[in-house]
């Protein structure tokens, strides 16, 4: 059996003699990077989350979903987060005082958002309660996957209401 590895556009491609084995090993790099982080890296990222990342339980397509969102004018840190946790970086252009400027958004949803919060939870301070609500929401929504859509929407509404006062409190500070 021969194993060959190469990095290709954010993916690690491993090829074996057998094509079926090679396809099963084709996986996003962020799956590996998340577990390679040291505690000091996780603490640094948790500080970013505490300061500026938005936690959202909201509508995503026809269902409700867990979303983490971070807006910055500098794309570099957002690309780093996308490399580590997954998600996408989008350009959001804004106007301020009549001038247009680039605003970038990193957005991660569902299980990737859950994995990121789970990994960072011990290091969070300010948004620990909001993260706890989001983690509980995701676990409950996954447990109710076979329930009717109306039930899952009601669960999302319940958790969104729990999250709302925490977001308002942060704006008042």
DSSP letters, 124-158, are -STTHHHHHHHHHHHHHHHHTTTS-HHHHHHHHHH
pTM, two decimals, is 0.73
Residue 85's CB is within 10 A of a number of other CB atoms, namely: 23
Q: Which two tokens stand for residue 102?
A: 């680039």
Packed helices 39-52 and 110-120: angle between N→C axes, nearest 10 degrees:
110
Q: Which of 69-78, 88-97, 119-128 has the lowest mean pLDDT?
A: 88-97
Nearest to 160 by CA among 63, 65, 58: 58
The percent of residues in the chain predicted with pLDDT above 90, rounded, is 39
Q: What is the pLDDT of residue 146?
A: 86
Instruction: State the average pLDDT for the chain.
Output: 78
According to CATH, what is the number of the domain 37-172? Answer: 3.10.28.10
Burial class (CB in 10 A: 0-12, 13-18, 19+), 54: middle
CB 89 within 8 A of CB 74: no
CA–CA separation, 86 and 51 (whole Å) = 20
**Strand order from edge to edge, sheet including 99-109:** 54-60, 63-72, 99-109, 88-96
pLDDT at residue 13 tops 80? no
Domain boundaries, the chain: 1-36, 37-172
Q: What is the pLDDT of residue 147?
A: 87
Render pLDDT for 31-68 as a digit per residue (tens, 0 to 9): 546 667 889 999 999 999 999 999 988 765 556 789 99
């Amino acid at each position: 059996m021969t194993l060959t590895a190469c990095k290709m556009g954010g993916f690690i491609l491993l090829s074996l003699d057998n094509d079926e084995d090679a396809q099963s090993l084709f996986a996003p790099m962020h799956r590996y990077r998340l577990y390679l982080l040291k505690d000091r890296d996780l603490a640094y990222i948790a500080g970013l989350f505490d300061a500026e990342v938005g936690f959202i339980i909201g509508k995503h397509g026809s269902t409700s979903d867990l979303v983490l969102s971070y807006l910055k004018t500098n794309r570099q840190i957002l690309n780093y987060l996308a490399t580590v946790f997954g998600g996408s970086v989008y350009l959001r252009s804004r106007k301020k005082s009549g001038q247009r400027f680039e605003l970038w958004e990193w957005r991660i949803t569902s299980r990737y958002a859950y994995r990121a919060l789970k990994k960072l939870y011990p290091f969070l301070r300010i948004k620990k309660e909001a993260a706890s609500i989001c983690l509980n929401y995701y676990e409950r929504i996954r447990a109710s996957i076979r329930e009717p859509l109306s039930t899952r929407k009601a669960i999302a509404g319940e958790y969104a209401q729990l999250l709302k006062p925490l977001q308002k409190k942060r704006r008042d500070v």
